Structure 1
Amino acid sequence: MLLSILQIIGLQLVLPAAFIFSLWRIKSENKLDWIIQLLFTVIYIMWIFLSGPWDWLGYYVRYVWVILLIPAVFFSWKKTRSLPLRTTLNGSQKITRGIHIVLILVFGLYNVSVFSSYTTQEEAIDLMFPLQDGTYYVGQGGSSTQMNYHHAHEPQQYALDIAKLNSFGSRASGIYPKDLDQFAIYGDTLYSPCTGEAMEVRDGLPDLTPPEMNPEQPEGNYAALACEDTDAIVYIAHMQENSIMIQEGDTIQKGQPIGTVGNSGNTTEPHLHIHAEEEGVGIPIKFDDQFLTRNDLVRTN
């Protein structure tokens, strides 16, 4: 977990600051190298803006980099606008240019993967959003593994992991607290996303202290719902111990309370996991006809 925290700090704070500062203070001898460095910086900032897990540092922090990028572009252009388009380069300058071009290609492909995750050609089922008391953040979601690690696993390929943001735009008080109550979503009521029948229900597993996990019972406390007008089964997982309000075989109504968000099962922190399967294959979910991906917000209050 410490490694993940360091990666987030490095990729989302240190590197953007370094790249924007480097563009701002650029000492290029020609316009072409300025254009190449500008393209790389913009493409990197776009990638981290769209695909970074911003619920850790604060959802609105990502806009800081966009705001800082604008004057960096302006002042760097003022320094280079009178330069020739091209000049003869020495060995180290050629290496620097080559590195920037390679990075443009790498992060350009990353951005292609990000944009590809926003849509799917498969038919989706439309559900009611199962949370109703705050601003909710999609941490995993979309149709590519870069935006949704679940996409690598066929039964859960369109699964969503959802957190809740506090007033600071973060999912918790602190970077990674052990107190479950410090997570904004912990204990929030879950509502049935459809009318149907409860096919499977499990309760009684303990809520774990982060980063403890239970890989032997990955769903934790969960409910599997057979929704009307579809052959898919909707799974809602990691629910709070002894919070489930329905039993196997119950008929349930859309919007009916069914339990609360917990931290049971194979999970590193409290969140809602929801996915739909049809004959063991994951199918897309929409809420109010919206296909959600990482960094989307759902405001319910």
Structure 2
Amino acid sequence: MTFVILQVLVINLILPAVFIYSLWRGSFESKLEWLIQLLATTLLTVWVFLAGRWDWTGYYMRYAWLVFLAAAIYLSWRKTRSRPFRIAFDHKQKWSMGVCVVVLLVFGLYNVFVISSLTTQDDAIALSFPLKSGTYYVGQGGNHVQMNYHQAYSPQEYALDIVKINTLGLRAHGLYPKDLHQYEIYGDRLFSPCDGEVLETRGDLPDLTPPDTDPDQPEGNYVALTCDDEEAVIYICHMQQGSVAVAEGDVVREGQLLGTVGNSGNTSEPHLHIHAEKDGEGVPIRFGGRFLVRNNLMRK
């Protein structure tokens, strides 16, 4: 888990800081050098803004990088606007520009993947949002693995992992606390997203201490139900031990209590996992007409 924490810090903080600072403080002998650095920095910053996991370092902090980028562009242009467009570049300048071109191409491609993940042409199931007491953040969601690792697994395509954030935009008190009560979403009530029938439940597995997981029981405590007039099965997973409030065969109404958010099963921390599955393949979900992707918020 130390690697995950370092990865988040590098992507969210260190990478954009290095590139924006380099653009701001750089000494460019030509507009072409500046333009290549500008494009590389912009594409990297946009990717971090769209695809970073901002519930770890503060959701609203992502907007600060856009402000810093705009300031760096303005200040660096003031120093460069009198320079010629192109000069005879020395070896060091060519090397620096080559690195920036590679960054530009890589993060340009990454942004294409991110943009492609924001929508889907597949038919989606319309559900009501199952959480109702705060601001909820989509940590995994979308139509590409860049934004949603579930896309790599056919039965869980379009699955969503959802946490809750506080007024600072953080999902927990601390980067990765072991105390489950330090996570904002832990214990939040879960409600049926539709009228339907309960197909399966499990509720006796323990809530795990992060980073412990239970890959043998990946759903943890869960409710599986079908919605009226829909063939897909809706899975609501990782619920709190002893909290499941329905049983197999129960008929439920939209908004009826199902249980509470926990940390059971193959989960790294407390969150809601929800997905719809039909004939062994994942089906998109829309809440209030919205196809949710990473970094979307639902306020309830």
TM bracket (short chain): over 0.9
Shift of 1:174: 0.6
Shift of 1:282: 0.4
Amino acid at match of 1:143: N
* 1:73 and 2:96 aligned: no
Shift of 1:93: 1.1
Cα distance in structure 1, aligned partners of 2:118 and 2:10: 26
Cα-to-partner distance string for 1:142-198 (whole Å, 9 max, x where unaligned): 000010000000000110000000121100001000000000000000000010100
Moved over 6 A (4+): none
Cα-to-partner distance string for 1:182-219 (whole Å, 9 max, x where unaligned): 00000000000010100000110000000000000000
In the alignment, structure 1 segments of 5+ residues that lack a partner are: none
Cα-to-partner distance string for 1:216-258 (whole Å, 9 max, x where unaligned): 0000000100111110000000000000000000000000001
Cα distance in structure 1, aligned partners of 2:167 and 2:209: 24
Cα-to-partner distance string for 1:253-282 (whole Å, 9 max, x where unaligned): 000001000000000100000000011110
Cα distance in structure 2, aligned partners of 1:69 and 1:141: 26
Amino acid at match of 1:141: G
The answer for the alignment partner of 1:233 in structure 2 is: 233
What percentage of aligned pairs have identical amino acids? 58
TM-score (norm 1): 0.99
Shift of 1:62: 0.8
Shift of 1:10: 1.1
Cα distance in structure 2, aligned partners of 1:167 and 1:149: 27
Secondary structure class of the residue paired with 2:244: coil
* 1:150 and 2:159 aligned: no
Cα-to-partner distance string for 1:48-100 (whole Å, 9 max, x where unaligned): 00000000001011111111111111110011000000000111211111111
The answer for the alignment partner of 1:115 in structure 2 is: 115
The answer for the alignment partner of 2:84 in structure 1 is: 84
The answer for the alignment partner of 1:253 in structure 2 is: 253
The answer for the alignment partner of 1:101 in structure 2 is: 101
Cα distance in structure 2, aligned partners of 1:249 and 1:218: 22
The answer for the alignment partner of 2:135 in structure 1 is: 135
The answer for the alignment partner of 2:22 in structure 1 is: 22
Cα distance in structure 1, aligned partners of 2:11 and 2:133: 31
The answer for the alignment partner of 2:34 in structure 1 is: 34
In the alignment, structure 2 segments of 5+ residues that lack a partner are: none
Secondary structure class of the residue paired with 2:133: coil
Amino acid at match of 2:298: V
The answer for the alignment partner of 1:163 in structure 2 is: 163
Amino acid at match of 1:79: K
Secondary structure class of the residue paired with 1:20: helix
Amino acid at match of 1:188: D
Count of residues paired in the alignment? 300
Cα distance in structure 2, aligned partners of 1:232 and 1:157: 13
